[in-house]
Amino acid sequence: RKDFIVDEYQVYEARAWGADAILLICAILNNEQLKHLLHVAHDQRMHCLVEVHSAEEARRAVAAGAQIIGVNSRDLVTFRMNPYLMRELRYTIPADRVVVAESGIHSAADARRLARYDVHAMLVGESQVKSQDIPGQMRSLLEGANQSAQVKICGLRTQVHLNAATEAGADMLGLMFYEPSHRYIEPAQVKMLLEDTRFSSSPGDEQAAPDLVGVFVNKEADFINEVVEQVGLHFVQLHGNEPPDFCQFIKRPVIKALQLADNKDYGLVKAYQEAAWRILLDTPSSAWGGTGTTHNWDLARSVVQDSPIILAGGLAPENVAEAISRVRPWGVDVSSGVETNKTKDVAKIQAFIKNVRMSAAIH
């Protein structure tokens, strides 16, 4: 029953009508009401979708014992959309709760973005009602959520290339904070660049910008967290020999890059599975950072069986579709593969992302 439920009578009424679940909106219930209605519903063997619109409401829902939490990106007062809300709230909600994305889900890009934040379900209404092709719309959303690999374009240093990757549909943009790399960019410079790109968009915008990933090599946690706040990073990629327990000190979800040489390195993956948000598999090298050399795809495929991974190493527009077909990674990461003479190439960025999306349609 999707309604403004404020009294237990409405719960009993819904059950009598045959409802299996009810909607409870945190914004219109105090803590005592929320706990009581959850108890009444569970006593009737009903599920509750508890809807939240802020970090405080998410905290209240968790404290009340809600097992299914819906994050509604539409403000109930202004009706403005905040496509960034799930990103802001998702990792404040315990991993054992079911998380549902609500509102503003119109395209495959929307579904792919929400899947990136590990949501378990998406509540879609308005876009289906307005669609002239409901089956086609549903196929598009399912493809975006379940089939299309996430795309990370790494080593971006200029406004032109940041905009090009964004407009081409990249999901994540990588910024290199490793000084020895020729792709290194100073945090202060990043902040200035972002002010003149799509990242200056406000929470009221319907279209969300890609996520920013900062790449670090063997830096102190305090330094990383300082850059996180200064730049506004959404994820942190660790590309050095940081131990698994180091991840807990980072204030953003961690992508841990690992260089696997053979099956004997599986233990390394398992050691980081619990600590890191995602594992990135790169080609073994004596140097830190990307190698530009193609990874052992058969080895990577065997790792995918146990863990969603981001595949890196030697990917380019010409081979990324084959890599996705053979490995079935959660995401793909590219830097040198979309460069010409060590400089990002707009045409290659566009071709790379296009080929990733086409691979989803084929498979």
Residue 282 a catalytic site member: yes
**How many whole angstroms separate alpha carbon 31 and alpha carbon 44?**
20
From the candidates 110, 171, 282, 333, which is the catalytic residue?
282
Q: What is the CA radius of gyration of the chain?
A: 22
Strand locations in 94-245 (E):
98-102, 121-123, 150-153, 172-176, 211-216, 235-238
Helix (H, G, I), strand (E, B) or coil at 324: helix
Residue 247 a catalytic site member: no
Cα–chain-centroid distance for residue 203? 17
From the candidates 26, 48, 154, 247, which is the catalytic residue?
154
Active-site amino acid positions: 154, 282
